[in-house]
Amino acid sequence: MPEMMPSFHNPPLILVADDDKTMRLGVRQAMEQDGYQVIEAHDGNTCLSVFERVRPDVVLLDAIMPAIDGFTCCRRIQEMSGIRRTPVLMITGLEDQDSVDKAFSVGAVDYITKPIHWAVLRQRVKRLIQQVRLYQQLETANHELQRLAAIDSLTQVANRRRFDEYLQQEWQRMLREQLPLSLILCDIDCFKLYNDTYGHQAGDDCLRQVAQVIQNAAKRAIDLPARYGGEEFAVILPNTDQEGAILVAQDIQTGVKNLQISHTASKVCDTVTVSLGVSNTIPSVITSPELLINAADKALYQAKAEGRDRYCT
Ligand code: GH3
Ligand code: MG
Ligand code: MG
Ligand code: MG
């Protein structure tokens, strides 16, 4: 899943770095007029450590400061903030072209000269805040889309797309590390009869409950329970040998039984049951994830043939 997103401060947080105390006070007052929070730094070193600690939304940076100057500060801030760039606006008495060029080349997004025109400063900061906020909204929307694209909407477990992707990924990882990879396929018994008897809605509800059992049985963060197709589920179990996979299969089998969902038309017993196929291998270059799936599929078929409500390997 995608990494944690740093959040936008509310109210927005502005870092003001300037070695001139009067200047910091003036900027603070202008920012507070617009409802922003302000944190001050009186030199370059403090600016960088405060930046790292509080991750402000915008930085207002003086160019000439003792020890570490504003240009260097700006470059370091860009490096620290990574792809999620924190906008830096330089406020400086330097008006020559070299200084302006230098500021933009180290990543400043805006540049205003002293003496400060307060109304202009406030409008510029307001626009930067709007941009940061928009970027954050896009990031959140993108994050949500990624999540939705990997999830089965009915059962809330991973969908087939995510299953395929994760199986490839873990196959490669287990191949590199020469560790066992297990796969469970799980199919609801006589589910067509269940739908015919109780209706499609009840069928959907049954699928949700079975998915929950499978989710609970796949205990480790690296296990991936997924909806493989209609009424078939799968569990990918990295770094798990056959014995470990059988324990999970048994958990699912008894978990579903314990749901005690009535199924009077079932050929097995009077509640909903599942059949499971378990396969396991240490990946090698002459085998493939498809073979692991085929083996689980064959085992599942055998479990059905032997009378259902069981697992086979
Ligand atoms: P077996 O014990 O051999 O697995 O028999 P079965 O009836 O479960 O197998 P079959 O493959 O013949 O039937 C699967 C049924 O699953 C048919 C289909 O209507 C139902 N099904 C598939 N997806 C859904 C779904 O999303 N919701 C509901 N309610 N039913 C579904
Ligand atoms: Mg200065
Ligand atoms: Mg089926
Ligand atoms: Mg079935």
**Region 23-32 average pLDDT:** 97
Would you list the DSSP string of the chain? Answer: -PPPPPPPPSS-EEEEE-S-HHHHHHHHHHHHHTT-EEEEESSHHHHHHHHHHH--SEEEEES--SSS-HHHHHHHHHHHHTTSPPPEEEEES--SHHHHHHHHHTT-SEEEESSP-HHHHHHHHHHHHHHHHHHHHHHHHHHHHHHHHTB-TTT-SB-HHHHHHHHHHHHHHHHHHT--EEEEEEEETTHHHHHHHH-HHHHHHHHHHHHHHHHHH--STT-EEEEEETTEEEEEEET--HHHHHHHHHHHHHHHHHH--B-TT-SS-SB--EEEEEEEE---TTS-HHHHHHHHHHHHHHHHHTTSSSEE-
Distance, in Å, from the CA atom of 277 to the CA atom of 292, rounded to the nearest integer, reads 11
pLDDT band at 5 (very low <50, low <70, confident <90, very high): very low
How many whole angstroms from 61 Cα to the centroid of ligand 2? Answer: 9
To 5 degrees, how large is the angle CA 194–CA 198–CA 199?
95
Q: What angle do CA 172, 174, 175 make, to 5 degrees?
A: 60
Q: Among 70-84, 170-184, 246-260, whose mean pLDDT is lowest?
A: 70-84
Percent of the chain with pLDDT over 90: 93
- Closest Cα to atom 26, ligand 1: which residue? 230
Residue 59, amino acid: V
Q: Which residues line ligand 1 (CB under 6 A)?
A: 154, 187-193, 195, 200, 203-204, 207, 230-231, 304, 308
Q: How many angstroms separate the CA atoms of 84 and 81, rounded?
A: 6
Cα 129 to ligand 4 centroid, rounded to whole Å: 55
The least confident of 3-17, 33-47, 157-171, 290-304 is: 3-17
pLDDT computed for residue 7 by the predictor:
61
Q: Compute the average pLDDT of residues 159-164.
A: 98
Q: 44 C-alpha vs ligand 2 centroid, how far in Å?
A: 10
Predicted confidence band at 99 (pLDDT cuts at 50, 70, 90)? very high
- Rounded to 5°, the CA angle 55-61-64 comes to 140
pLDDT tens readout for residues 122-144:
999 999 999 999 988 998 999 99
Q: What is the pLDDT of residues 254-312, one digit of tens each?
A: 999 999 999 999 999 999 999 999 999 999 999 999 999 999 999 999 999 999 999 99
Residue 83's pLDDT band (cuts 50, 70, 90): confident
User: Average pLDDT of the chain?
Assistant: 95
